[in-house]
Structures are given as C-alpha cells and as structure tokens.
Amino acid sequence: MKFRHVLTGLVFTMGILAATALTSLAAIPTGRFESVNSTAVCGWAYNSSAPNDALTVRISITNKETGEEVFSQQVSAGEYRQSLYNKNKGNGCHGFTLSMDWTAYPAGSYLVEGFVGDEEFINPMTYSNGSDSAQSAQDSQGTQNADGTQSDKSQESGTGLVPLGVFKTTGYCPCKGCSEGWGRHTCTGAIAKAGHTIAVDPRIIPYGSKVMINGVVYTAEDRGGAVRGNHIDIFFDTHAETRMHGTQNAEVYLVMS
Ligand SMILES: [Zn+2]
C-alpha cells in the first residue's frame, strides 16, 4: 500500500510537471500583421494563457535604406475580430488599427515590424512609401495590398467602427470585361472612383454605407451580379490594379458617422 502511495504521488507530480510545461509553452504570445497600407497598420496579438486580455504591441518602422528606426509606438490590441473569435482566440478582442501618416516620411522602402512581449510578429511587412503598396517580407504568395490610390480621411479617429466580419474582396475596373460597358457608371448613379467606390450586396451592406477595408474607407454605391453575401468588389482605375488585387480576405468594418 505504501508503495502504491509513492507511485500515485510520482504520477501526480509528473502530471503537474507536464501541465506546467504545456502552460509555459502556450504562454508565448503571438502577433501578426493583417495589412499595412497608406493610412494604417492593422494586425492582432494573442496569448492563450490570457485569452481575454488585450495585449500591448509595439510597432517599429525602419527605413531600409538608412537602417534608421523612424517610428516606434505602442498600441493596445483590443479591437474585436470575428475571425479571431471564430478561431477560439478568447473573446476575439485582440486586433489593432494604428493610423499612419506616411506623408511624414521620405519616399522609400520601409520595414514594418511588430513586437508583443519579447516575441516578434511572424510576418514582418515591407511598405513602399510613395507607391502605396505593401507586402509581407515573407509572403511568397504575392498577396499584395493594391488598395485604392487615395482614401477618405474620415477614418482617422478610429472610433465608431462596427466589425462586419471577414469578407472576400475582389476588384473591378471600367473595362468591358469588368463592367460590361457601364464603365464608371454605378447602379446608384454615382461615378465610380478608385479608393472610394465598392460594389456590395445591398442586403448585407446598404448603399451609402461607409466601410473600412485595410484602413481605407470606401462607400457602398454599386452592385455586381456576382457580388453576393460577404463579398465586396473594390473599384480600381485600371485592369492591371484589378488583377493585382486578385481575391483576398479582409476584415471589414462599418464606419459610423
Ligand atoms: Zn477590368
């Protein structure tokens, strides 16, 4: 009997040790960029040992030519992301949107890095200032953010954003193939503008709604035969930009005015 007690104690101790090891493994926070564009840096950070905590992340931007860190700022990652919630990442409130004014920096190539605790984000980004594009330094799939060339300024405050979840985004342009001869004429009568016009399923997003995608605020003012449900078609000036955008998934926010 005594031997059995020792054995039970030993098994118990080993169980505690294993649990401790697992916990310490799981306790490493992870962070990831969602997008870097001309107006904002978006991403999320999460620690499974504190699944409902909003972590603080630090965003660092380095001029690739000079090696100089030109920007360093801490931001709380507490925005709700439906996709994180769906992946059982606690309460899903782990996203951040940091407004960026790239016009304050000289044109050139910038490395955008994120840190959460001692951990670096797994997908550092490269932003080409002046050409309005960003891509992940590690991303070989070529998912480039070819968002509109301009953006409305109304998203600066970052307040009044209602998450609508993840949408499929595609692009279209005035060409015959994309717009079947309608050119820039939208179904609401507005003339389509890049960085402004999106086509939506009006049952999901009513016409006139302001919608933020990757930090750019668009207006829902068109529709498309193939645009149904959680799908948004983003207007571009050229078919080359349309092709570059391809098909992406993005967190979409309704901007309340
Ligand atoms: Zn086209």
Sign of CA dihedral 225, 235, 34, 111: positive
**What tens digit of pLDDT does each residue of 126-168 get?**
778 886 544 444 333 333 344 433 444 444 444 589 999 999 9
Confidence category of residue 2, pLDDT binned at 50, 70, 90: low
Q: Do residues 220 and 254 make contact, with C-beta atoms less than 8 angstroms apart?
A: no
CA of residue 225 to ligand 1 center, whole Å: 15
Confidence check: pLDDT of 248 > 50: yes
Which residue segments constitute the domains of the chain, with CATH numbers given?
30-149 (2.60.40.3080), 160-256 (2.40.40.10)
**Mean pLDDT for the stretch of residues 177-185:** 93
Q: Do residues 192 and 129 make contact, with C-beta atoms less than 8 angstroms apart?
A: no
Q: Do residues 61 and 112 make contact, with C-beta atoms less than 8 angstroms apart?
A: yes
CA of residue 177 to ligand 1 center, whole Å: 6
pLDDT at 204: 96
DSSP-assigned beta bridge partners for residue 115: 58, 120
CA of residue 100 to ligand 1 center, whole Å: 30
CA of residue 192 to ligand 1 center, whole Å: 13
CA of residue 111 to ligand 1 center, whole Å: 32
Confidence check: pLDDT of 223 > 90: yes
Encoded amino acid at 214, one letter? N
CA of residue 107 to ligand 1 center, whole Å: 29
CA of residue 179 to ligand 1 center, whole Å: 7
Q: Nearest CA to 255 among 216, 201, 226, 223?
A: 216
CA of residue 102 to ligand 1 center, whole Å: 29
Between 242 and 10, the more confident residue is 242
CA of residue 136 to ligand 1 center, whole Å: 26
**What tens digit of pLDDT does each residue of 27-61 get?**
888 888 777 777 788 888 888 888 888 888 888 88
Confidence category of residue 186, pLDDT binned at 50, 70, 90: very high
CA of residue 169 to ligand 1 center, whole Å: 15
Confidence category of residue 109, pLDDT binned at 50, 70, 90: confident
Between 96 and 235, the more confident residue is 235
**Mean pLDDT for the stretch of residues 181-188:** 94
- pTM for this entry: 0.46
pLDDT at 153: 41
Would you state the structure tokens that stand for residue 105, as one six-digit string? 């920096």
